[in-house]
Chains A and B, each alone.
Chain A
């Protein structure tokens, strides 16, 4: 790689304005930062929606918001947290760290990577733009047809949802192809598959799930769009359409999606625990195979979301058993995490706090999950707050705790400054307390019979105190992120400069300066074992390697920046918006969609013929 052809002049690069530089960048680190920044903003918006929901449910017979706006709130809260927060925050880590962890200078397709970012950002803005029109999606994050068909959901609300998800799906699929190829093909010399950092394995398995599950929701969304826009009857009961088809297609995607949200979190925690326990990950290969097994089983359990539809005893038994099987590889992972900690010399830094919080909270979410696997029990719990408690324990207690751990762990590498430890620990304790106060009472209120997605409830059903507790907890939980935001600002202004290797890390990213230079590795690393940096330190007989010098980068070749990823993304968005706006007329494509199509096609051609020299085409 070091000797390939293209080098874009750093003199010209210096002349570009900062804005142009970020709009045209193909650097995986800048793209990662943009993923993280935009996803954090969406995360705060989704959190704000949650706080309004909790305020509405604070006391019985409350009328803070209208019922329809309440529907918009919970739909957008779910959609935002899944597609605009957890997935892209994970994508931030994929982007920034996969190339660093495997010893590469960039991803396999840098421009495609930029396109994924822009499509994601535009899709997120598009979805949230609906609030300004007072027409945010209101049919739930699962968009059950025919409730989401035009007959029951007139107006543009669900159009925004259908088109928005379609846009975001394209971003995920493009990133899936990119990262799968990057991990298989861009590893440093000597880094065999079984020497890869465990986080990279988690990303690889996640991309397999993305690649095989997103096409299914793509087709389901196409059907729903056709039903809504062109008058087909795929899910229309009166014309022999089958609403069960939507549920099956949605959950064939939806359940793997759950693992798309949690596997990267597994990977991050599995990176953090060894570093802060000062011993290698316990049972590395068991961890790898259990992730693969979870992904495999993840495609055979979708109907446990549909026990209440009456599929019959055979299907119910099959999906019950398959779901219970997943507890086995998951249990393997939990025991291996504990095994990693066992006998270790624990360094109680903030990342470890969050990682331990993850293990405890995820176990609780996992236990209520096993209860749901029993079909008869699930019939009592389905669509109640018990389910809300369960999936927040795995998605917030699991994914968000782990992603936060990752943020504290990798912040010094990304920005060259260490987040404040005291504030970090305050963040942890407030978040842990707020989280449990919010969601633990939901188990009880659910078993008492409170349905989810309900706008209000009458007094005297035993829901009152528990809901009030949840609301107080939610505000506590929200305030923990104010502490985090303050920590970020404080660190930005006056944080301690981070050394290259602040935690005594085991993986390649800690061998280069913080933040990394544009080309990542001045010399391409050669890997001869797992935990390569620990091996290097052991061989040198030192605890900390000398600070790596910042080099000039003379003669290092990087892919050139490009406008086309952004232009293609804008064209694609325009095309789909055109279809949405045009829905009333007989001919599906109006001038807007035709213009969008033309921009996309033109952009793809310019992209294909743009001279890239160095990067891909010669291999």
Chain B
């Protein structure tokens, strides 16, 4: 046996040795995100296939309103920035900074979900676009509904971490707990950045 060939990636950081320079839970979140990409890719493709299927009932141009969704998009974009600031606070052990920015992030999540609930209600009651009215409706509601569910889950997760932070349970050593949630949050944000132009803008501009 040669002894010269020891793996240089193996770092001696005491308790937990990982083969790659990344904590396992963070790696797992990246892997999960890769999988989620295929999930949303399938939903988005279906919408693109079916967006013109509205022989019966209203189509994209009859229902989509850009200003409200733009506001939602902006809120979600800002929330990604806010959660980075919160993480920075957690890593520095700055509890006030952590609480301030994390509360803002959660608020953004709540606002976005609220925006979507309002939008769906408006479409159904005012524009008479029910879930099964036509395939444009079904694929639109399914895609944005699943995205909204992801935002809701993320909001619940961040709110739980906010409660932890309030009780002082997120010291710098546990900032990873927030970092992983933030990773998920950024992903949900990125998906919306694809949905916004592909679903709303491109359907209107055609």
Contact = CB atoms under 8 A, between A and B. Distances in A.
Interface residues of A, number: 58
A226 to B, nearest CB: 7
Contacts of B55: 240
Given A215-B35, A215-B36, A184 B20 contact: yes
A180 interface: yes
B144 to A, nearest CB: 14
Nearest to A527: B7
Contacts of A212: 34-35, 38
B49 A242 contact: yes
How many chain B residues sit at the interface, stated as a range, is 35 or more
Interface stretch (B75-83, B117-125, B127-135): B127-135
A180 B29 CA distance: 11
A606 interface: no
B1 A535 contact: yes
A526 B15 CA distance: 16
Nearest to B38: A215
B61 to A, nearest CB: 18
Given A186-B19, A240-B53, A215 B10 contact: no
Interface in A229-247: 230-234, 239-242, 245
B6 A181 contact: no
Contacts of B174: 617
B23 interface: yes
A189 B1 contact: no
A433 B17 CA distance: 50
Nearest to A605: B160
Contacts of A109: 24, 28
Contacts of A181: 24, 27-28, 31
A608 B1 CA distance: 43
Given A181-B31, A528-B6, A216 B42 contact: yes
Given A185-B27, A234-B138, A617 B6 contact: no
A536 interface: yes
Interface in B1-51: 1-3, 5-7, 9-10, 14-20, 22-25, 27-28, 31-32, 34-36, 38-39, 42-43, 46, 49-50
Contacts of B131: 230, 232
A49 B6 CA distance: 52
Contacts of B14: 3
A219 B28 contact: no
B6 A176 contact: no
A219 B35 contact: no
Contact of B2 (A108, A177, A219, A529): A529
A3 B39 CA distance: 39
21 contacts: A1-B15, A5-B15, A177-B35, A185-B18, A187-B19, A191-B7, A211-B35, A212-B35, A212-B38, A219-B39, A226-B138, A226-B142, A233-B138, A234-B139, A527-B7, A529-B1, A608-B160, A617-B177, A619-B18, A619-B24, A619-B176
